[in-house]
Every structure is written in structure tokens, then in C-alpha cells.
Structure 1
Amino acid sequence: MSAPSLHITLISETYPPEINGVANTLWHLSEGLRLRGHQVELVRPRQASDPLTDDDQPRLLCHGWPLPGYPGLQWGQVSMHKLMRRWRRQRPDVLYIATEGPLGLSALRAARRLGIAVVSGFHTNFHQYSNEYGLGLLSRLLTHYLRWFHRRTHTTLVPSVSQRLELERRGFDNLTLTARGVDSQLFNPGRRSQALREQWGLGNDDIALIYVGRLAPEKNLGLLKRCLHAAQQSYPQRHIKLIVVGDGPQRSALQKQLPDALFCGAQRDETLAEHYASGDIFLFPSLTETFGNVVLEALASGLAVVAYDQAAAAQHIRHGHSGALAMPGDEDAFIDACNWLLEDAEALRRVRLNARCHASRQGWPSIIEQFEGHLRDACQPGRSAPALQPAATLAIKPESSTPRG
């Protein structure tokens, strides 16, 4: 006898067509659950592309406030009482809260009042991002708040082993590893476009170093310039060009720092897949990722990935076999890893084939099934999170009281 379908509510302050890893993951999770026969309700901020009147889709669109420094992204806001009224009329079996902002907090409080099971996800290192935006004093308070928030849920899903270890070190508990997948039919080497490479000014034997992602301080993009210049100096006989795909608050500054690089802006769907596949080596210098979906997308596209040995790269790249890794923070080792890939055309070809072979086995269906299992487990009788306490009280506890892993 098959298990009954669930009424699942997903809460997130970001969702497609917004472009980021959280939105991409939530779309795959929600669509995957629907295909498995579940009723999925979405609670998120209203976006400019949404219709002015409510449609028939099972969702609640709330008011959004602009996120400072991130045009196009929002904090969501809705009252706890509005959610309680809605969920009394049509009660979900379980909530999945993907973001911990005002919207996620209201959903958590409403669910606790109504006795609805809650699973949370740790998708973004906000406590680390605050340092990049000159708000280092807030990092400690954010860590306290995030720890308080996630302790109030049945379990917290984390996407990588390195993220779980980091959170355990900071005193988080009840963490469950749930990885990410990739659409290897969309992202595949067959989408390589000679016409696009010609637009980039590259021939068959030229090298495209490519970066895909947000152009923001927390992505450590200053390393792109060092890496490009080192490659050009080490291999002056080769035509090596940097291709940057994405947008964000640091774009204008990067364009001044990298006048010879090509900035393609944000790309979507098949066009994004074509950009990936038309590159050769993918550079990913970020040190603040919970996972890094772009790493799997690059591997699936048949690129040789250079990244730090953490998050998605640590899980999916074998150094020298399917990519090249450096110890986190070692910029010289990162540059050396890129140059190693440029030394031998046959080695580069072999690494790219191995990358594609590995990524093609990392599909979403098994991850959706695993995610569903965690939601079902939270719904079991007798499963409950600790009582909800005031966040402000917990936020002032001294850091030294936090257990360390």
C-alpha cells in the first residue's frame, strides 16, 4: 500500500524567476514533490512578474522589502495571525522553511501555535556574508539567531558535509545531510556552441575561463583577476579569456578591474547551459557556500572545475581526476590548480570527461525522494521540536556557552 500524499507548505523569500541557488533548489523540490502526488503550497514575497490578482495556484504572496545591496531580492513579511487563519482553514501536514527572515520567523511561530510539524533548511551563510558587507559586529548576533531558529524545528537539512561540520562547530544540532542534484539533460557538453565562442573571440584551441554566479563581495571574485593574469603569464602562447556570467552589486567594479574580460550578464535555461558548455575551465573562488549548485552544473556541462575543497566541490570532485581543488583560502594553490589544467591538453580533456561522467549520475529524483522522507518523518506522532522561546532572549547569550564540536 502506497503512503498517503501530503499537504506540504514551502516558505521561502526567494523563488524563480529570481536567479540564485536557493530559488533553483526550491523549484526542483516543489516540482519534484508535485510529480510524486503531493499538494504543495508556496508562501513567498510577491515579485514584479506576478499577476496583480490572485490566480488559482496554491500559494500565498506576501509583501516584500528590498534586500540592501541586492537589487531584485527581498525580505518577505506576513503576519503570524494571517498564516494561522489560512492554516486553520486548510491545515498543512508539514512546513519546510528555507529562509530564516521575517517571513520564515512568522511561519515558524504560526506552526508552533498550531502544532504543525516544521523542517528547516540551511541554504545561506548570512552570518558569514555580514563580514563581507562591513557588518562584522552583526555576525555573532546572526549566529545566535540562526541557531535559535533551527533548534525550534524537527530537523535542519544541510547540503554538504563541510557545512554540517561548520554548523556543529557553532553549536547547531539535529542536522541532516540532504544533497543537491543537477539536470544533466539541460546541462551537458552537447550544448557547446562554436558560434557563441566566436562571439567571445575564441577559436577551437583557445581557452575560456568561465565564472557563473552572483557578482557580490562574498563570492571572493578578486581572485579571478589573479588567476587570469597568472594563466596568461604562464602560457603567453595561448589565447586565454575570462567569461563572466551573472549579475550583482559588484559588477561595475569588476568590469573596471577586468577590462579584457567579457561580462555576459545573467542567463537562464538553455542559454545558460550553452554558456557553460562553451567554456573550458570553470573558476569558483567562493569560500562562503553552503553548497554551490553551479559546481554541479559546470561538471555536468563537461567543464574542468577549479574550486576550494569544501561544500559541493569537496563532495563531487576528485582532485586530478574530475577537477582541481585547493585548500580553502590558499589563493596560490587555487592559481596553481588552474595552471595545472592548462599544462596538458590531454589531461584537461580527461578531467572534463570524468567530470561529466560523475555529474550525470547526480540527478534530482533520488534527492526528492530523500527530502520527502524527512518531511514524512517530521509528521510522525510524538515528533515535536522544543518549545518556542523569545529570540531576543537567546540572542544575548555569551558565545562561550555554546558547545563546540
Structure 2
Amino acid sequence: MKVAIFTDTFLPDVNGVAKTLGRFTKFLDQSHHSYIVISPKQTKNEISAGQIYRQSSFPFPLYKDCRISVPNTLHVKDIIKSFQPDIIHIATPFSIGLAGLHIAKKYNIPIVGSYHTDFDHYLKYYHLTLLTKALWRYMEWFHQPLLRLFVPSAVTYQQLDRKGFSNLQIWQRGVDTTIFHPYPSSNEIIKKYQIKEQFILSYVGRLAPEKNVELLARIAKQLPPSLQKKIHWLIVGDGPSKATLQKEWQQNVTYTGFLPQEEVAKLVSSSDIFVFPSETETFGNVVLEALATGTPVVAANAGGVKNIIQEGFTGKLCEADNSHSFTKAIQSILQDAEWRKQLEENAIRYAQKQRWEDRFQELLHAYQNILDETKKQQKHA
């Protein structure tokens, strides 16, 4: 099969979309399928390499880590005509996604998309809710021609179904258990970050308003003083909220910045609880990765995360943006060592069944079904 992927974010970007697509292209390499990726340049000097065709771009003013691309449409058309893909997969609904939509229609190539980001919820955190109606109108228009729109969770499926989106199909995410698995000892992490406290609580992700990370500081301060002294927090990641967090919260906390995946896996494996306050996840890859390391998760009962966490079995789901609900859940897990051990074992068993290879095979199977349906329709036309 020959797949053309159009995306406004790709490796080396550090986000769920880029990492998922990076893994997918690696899988396509290993399974001998052909692909090309049309994506933005990250730096001025970056050039196209192999199957990756970089388009000029500039930082988005409201969100510096996101880039707006200005695709060279004539060049992209030439690439597509030369490659002759069986299917076009659009991963983002912005400039490069628009180019993919236009080209697929022009050359009558079957087109699918994947829905990764809940932009509607993002607007709330950036005080732009006035744009909500316009955003949904645009999203409905953009996704309407797609033969299939892959969504990562039942929650996202229901949300888009209510909005009148069609051709929806759930395509869940997986976890790389060669990296995210239980590590035998936490001594390396304890030594590296000079941790003297009894318990380690961690968070991994962007430090940005839409991840609701400022709730972490409130949770830490609202825990009983006797328990606060026993906890060391490890906050992994970077972003626009980091400076505010560091200013407000300095007691018993280490801000590690971005870390390589292997180090993230060791750090989370060494944690007693993974705390995740975000309400805007369409899936929540980092939550599944935490479970794979054998770490119970305390998370907001919102978005795709609530389809991953099994309440009381692999972690606790809390009322969104309610620090008291989070502190109560954290206390209950830390104060019951036997239950905590059971949560760890359940988490590992669940996560080990969520393999990326299976997820990508499901996607390729869906592609094939779409191509077969298209051929049938063309034959009867």
C-alpha cells in the first residue's frame, strides 16, 4: 500500500500527534508499505529527507510551539503525481491538511483523516471562546469529504457524533512496552534527583494552560501537611506555564524539563502515582505509558483518559479541576500499600495488551476496506 500523510506537526516535535505518526511511519517501513509525509520545516536550514517533504513554516503567534506552514502547492502536487498514493491520510486540519484535502479532491484519491486534538476545549484556556462556533463550522466543513475520520476514544466519537460528523471510526492508541515497562529499581531516579521523601508523584506532558497544570500546585499544597512532607513531585516537560508554576510552587518539587523517552519511562516507573489533571485529551498516550510502567494513575474524569483508566482497578478518576477530589484520591492510594500494589499489577496487565503493532494493523485494515469500498462504487458508477 502507498500512503501519503499530510500533517502540520511531525518529528522531532514533542506531542502526541507527531509521536504517533513517527511510530506509524516506522511501522510502515518495517512492514514494507510505502509512504510519504508532507510536514512543516522546524528550522530554516532543515531540508526534505527520504520520504519526508518539509514545507516552509513560521511559529503560530498564539502558540509558539505550533507552526503554521505555507506549503508549496505546485511542488506538493508534483510529489503526489510522482508517488501516486493509494490513499491520503490527513492528520491535522490546518494549512498542510488543507493542501492534502485540495489535492485528494483534484486527483480523486481516497481520503481519510484522524482527529487528535480537542481544539474546542483549548479555546477556553486561551480565553478565545468567542471563536467556538466558527471553529466548529470550519471543522465540520473540513472533515465532511473524508471517507473515514479516525478518532482515538469513545468519548471523542460521541462528542463528534453529537456535532453531526459522519464516517467516524474508533482507532485507539498503543504503547511501546520495550520502553515503557516496570524498571526493577528506583535508586537511579532517587539518586539523580536527590529524593529523600518516602513517595514520588509525577506528571509528564506540556506545561501549558490547556493541560490544566496549575492544578498540580493546588493539589500539592492542599494535601495534609503530614503527607506533603513525605512526597516529592517530579514534573517532566516544558511550556508556557512553567515559569508560573515554578514561581508558585517550589517545595518538594523538581522540574526536569524535557527528557528522552527511556528516562521518562524510568522516572514514571519509579513513581508511586502518576497525576494527570488535563481535561482536553482525545486519548492520553502518557496515561497509557504510565500504566505500562506499573504506576497507578490519578486523572481528571474527562476526555479520552476516562476510557483508559478503570476506576479503582488501575487508578482513580477525579472530578475535573477539583483539587479536593485529587487530594482525596492520592491519599487513599498512598495510605493503602496493599491496594497500591494491586493497582500496579492491574495496570501492567492492561497496558501490555495495548500494542502499537495491533493498532497500526487495524488502521491498515481500515484503509484496505475503504479502498475496496471505493473500487466497488467506481465499478457501479
Normalising by structure 1, report the TM-score. Answer: 0.87
What is the rounded CA distance, in whole Å, between the counterparts of 2:55 and 2:203 in structure 1?
34
The 5-angstrom pairing of residues 6-405 of structure 1 reads 6-48=1-43, 51-52=46-47, 54-55=48-49, 57-190=50-183, 192-203=185-196, 206-233=198-225, 235=227, 239-260=230-251, 261-380=253-372, 382=374
Contact (CA 8 Å) 1:293, 1:312: kept in 2 or not?
A: no
CA drift of 1:49 comes to 9.3
Note the alpha carbon deviations across 1:63-91, whole angstroms, 9 max, x for none: 11212344443122214333223222221
- The range that moved more, 167-176 or 365-374, is 167-176
CA drift of 1:161 comes to 0.5
What is the rounded CA distance, in whole Å, between the counterparts of 2:296 and 2:316 in structure 1?
7
Letter matched to residue 303 of structure 1 = T
CA drift of 1:110 comes to 1.0
SS in structure 2 opposite 1:140? helix
Contact (CA 8 Å) 2:291, 2:348: kept in 1 or not?
A: yes
Q: Gaps (5+ residues) in structure 1?
A: 1-5, 386-405
Contact (CA 8 Å) 2:173, 2:285: kept in 1 or not?
A: yes
SS in structure 1 opposite 2:266? helix
CA drift of 1:312 comes to 4.2
CA drift of 1:200 comes to 2.7
Contact (CA 8 Å) 1:8, 1:93: kept in 2 or not?
A: yes
- The range that moved more, 346-355 or 310-319, is 310-319
CA drift of 1:171 comes to 2.2
Note the alpha carbon deviations across 1:310-355, whole angstroms, 9 max, x for none: 4443223221111111244544323321221122122112211211
Aligned length: 376
Change (3 A) 1:163 1:283: same
Contact (CA 8 Å) 1:154, 1:384: kept in 2 or not?
A: no
CA drift of 1:135 comes to 1.4
Contact (CA 8 Å) 2:55, 2:72: kept in 1 or not?
A: no
Letter matched to residue 251 of structure 1 = K
Change (3 A) 1:69 1:214: farther
Note the alpha carbon deviations across 1:231-286, whole angstroms, 9 max, x for none: 343635x5112210000111101111111221000112212212221221111111
Contact (CA 8 Å) 1:232, 1:240: kept in 2 or not?
A: no
What is the rounded CA distance, in whole Å, between the counterparts of 1:265 and 1:158 in structure 2?
30
What is the rounded CA distance, in whole Å, between the counterparts of 1:384 and 1:310 in structure 2?
40
What is the rounded CA distance, in whole Å, between the counterparts of 2:186 and 2:45 in structure 1?
33
What is the rounded CA distance, in whole Å, between the counterparts of 1:79 and 1:232 in structure 2?
58
Note the alpha carbon deviations across 1:144-197, whole angstroms, 9 max, x for none: 111111111111000000111111122222210000000112011116431321
CA drift of 1:384 comes to 11
Letter matched to residue 21 of structure 1 = G
Change (3 A) 1:270 1:113: same
Contact (CA 8 Å) 1:295, 1:312: kept in 2 or not?
A: no
What is the rounded CA distance, in whole Å, between the counterparts of 1:173 and 1:356 in structure 2?
35
What is the rounded CA distance, in whole Å, between the counterparts of 2:17 and 2:206 in structure 1?
12
Note the alpha carbon deviations across 1:350-389, whole angstroms, 9 max, x for none: 211211121111111110110101222222353799xxxx
